Amino acid sequence: MVGTPVLFIAIPLLAAFLIPLIGMVWKESVRIIPGLVLAYLLVLAINLLSYVTVNGPIVEVIAGWAPPIGINLVFNAFSGFLVTIMVFMGLLVWLYSYRFKSNVEYEAARKYFLLLMMLVTGSVGIVLTGDIFNMFVFIEITGISGYALTAFYTGRDSAEASFKYLMMGSIASVLLLLAIMIIYSQLGTLNMADVASKMHLMDPKLKAVSFILFVIALGIEAEVFPLNGWAPDAYAEAPGPVGAAFAGIVVKAAVYALIRYTYTIFDLSGAFNLLIIIGLITLVVAEVAAIRQEKLKRMLAYSSIGQMGLVLVSFGIGTKEGVFAALFIMLNHAIIKPLLFFSGSYLVYHSKKKMISDVDGMGKLAPLTSILFTLGAFAIVGLPPFAGFWSKLSFLMAAADSNMLLIIGLILTVSVVELVYYMRVVNRIFFFKRATHLLARRPTFNAYVVMIVLGLMILGIGFYPDSVSNYLHHAANSLFDKSQYIHSVLTATIQ
């Protein structure tokens, strides 16, 4: 083992505190240090993930108090998998915006990269932590970074989006605290594994209420339908890379939290049906709203919400195959949606309003970006042989195994809608005449690298899905094995 999970939190925090100091003497460091930290974390994540797939979960004890007493971090195949994705995406987002922000002043750049790093750290913390209240703290870290990043551009309506986000986030944190306290008042502990092992003792009424509060609170973060009003605004108004980070990192963490509560902590049978219902509604409404969008980023945002709905449905199936499919969709979404955000924000870069019609005829001006966007669009709607197909197939197989024919039919119908709006954009890119004479902005070298890496990953997973399926299976098993989770946490000792 090369490191321990706590470094995922400690190193970025240390760096965050160091950056203002070093920044005083070496200005470029404010851009470079977050990147170095994220790169280090990626190496760490990959190492730990390969260790975990062989040797079983790592439970890290903090402050020397074994789990029911102290806080602990759990790096198992499931959380490790998500952490790896998140850190990787964080690194790519950093790389993408490294030059993107070169015209921004030092002060703004420092804040941007700092907040970006903390956004990733907060999300990673949500996934890693084994403590209910600690998760709340990390949700707040993520939230505040998110609010600030959403409002980063002063010229746009970003403050409005950020305010909506903050309002919903505040409500979420209130409900989350209520739910945490209800659990604590009954079981006298805050440790997830401990709570999970004692959950059956809890009064079913209180259990249901606290679960509902959790669902609403985390649903707000996970962009579940009636709670996701903030999401399209935030995605659309945040800087392009931040939108990608929301789609690729933050939502994943929120969904993780929701799933952790549903699968591990609570033992409510109705919870899975609830997941399916809200997932379906989210999917349908989001896709339907996406087809009527006029702004590119909003369309992508709604599409992202829709995908999250699909993930929830897939988790709600409640079988191992369903979990596998859900993780696969999450992985693909984490790869594809950032690609769409990255390439899409260059396609409409020249325009102020960022309408879909602004992409008209970009195929000639920016062929590579356009083709990458098209690749992303094809992949996300699940056209073979790209990455999205395999996740869709495994999802449908899981659903069919559970005899959910109506759900399959509904989801496929919605997929047609999804296809339509993506194809409309692709058509516009390649076959429409340019409306304006503004010049397209050439992506920076870094942006090209990032987009091409993502494109190659889409192709790679598409042609050789087995490259990731092993990790996915481990992750699915690890989520499913509740008793093993509890056991490994509660018997953890100080290494």
Question: If 0-12 CB within 10 Å is exposed, 13-18 middle and 19+ buried, where does residue 330 land?
Answer: buried
Contact status: 106 vs another protein (CB under 8 A): no
Task: Give the nearer residue to another protein in terms of CB position, either 2 or 24.
Answer: 24
**The residue type at 239:** P
Query: Quick check: 358 binds another protein (CB under 8 A)?
Result: no
Residues of span 402-441 touching another protein by CB under 8 A: 403, 405, 408-409, 412-413, 415-417, 419-420, 423-424, 427, 430-432
4 versus 444: smaller Cβ distance to another protein: 4
What span, in angstroms and rounded, lies between the C-alpha atoms of 190 and 172? 19
What 8-state DSSP symbol labels residue 249? I
Judged by beta carbon, residue 180 or residue 339, the one nearer another protein is: 180
233 sits near another protein (criterion: CB under 8 A): yes
**Type of residue numbered 347:** L
What is the closest distance, in whole angstroms, from the C-beta atom of residue 238 to another protein in the complex? Answer: 12
- Which window, 30-38, 42-50, 84-92, 203-211, contacts another protein (CB under 8 A)? 203-211
Among 99, 160, 453, 460, binds another protein (CB under 8 A): 160
C-alpha distances in Å from residue 253, one per residue of 222, 368, 456: 8, 31, 25
- Kindly tell me which of 35 and 382 has the beta carbon lying closer to another protein: 382
202 forms part of the interface with another protein (CB under 8 A): yes
DSSP 74: E
Sign of the dihedral through C-alpha 100, 106, 109, 113: positive
Among 163, 319, 446, 487, binds another protein (CB under 8 A): 163
CB of 419 to another protein, least distance (A): 5
Q: How many residues of this chain bind another protein (CB under 8 A)?
A: 151
Cβ closest to another protein, residue 46 vs residue 144: 144
| Exposure on the CB side of residue 277, measured as CA atoms within 13 A | 7
- Which of 18, 43, 435, 438 forms a contact with another protein (CB under 8 A)? 18
CA distance 98 to 31: 7
Among 2, 28, 203, 438, binds another protein (CB under 8 A): 203
Binding mask 292-321 for another protein (x = CB under 8 A): xx----------------------------
Tell me if residue 191 falls in helix, strand or coil.
strand
The beta strand positions in 95-220, using DSSP E, are none
- Residue 469 interacts with another protein (CB under 8 A): yes or no: yes
CB of 232 to another protein, least distance (A): 7
Quick note: the x/- pattern for another protein over 51-90, rule CB under 8 A, is ---------xxxxxx--xxxx-------------------
DSSP symbols for 354-404: -BGGGGTTHHHHSHHHHHHHHHHHHHHTT-TTSHHHHHHHHHHHHHHHTT-
8 Å CB contact between 93 and 338:
yes
Question: 74 - beta bridge partners?
Answer: 59
Angstrom CA distances, 464 to 86, 325, 460, 461, stand at 22, 16, 6, 5
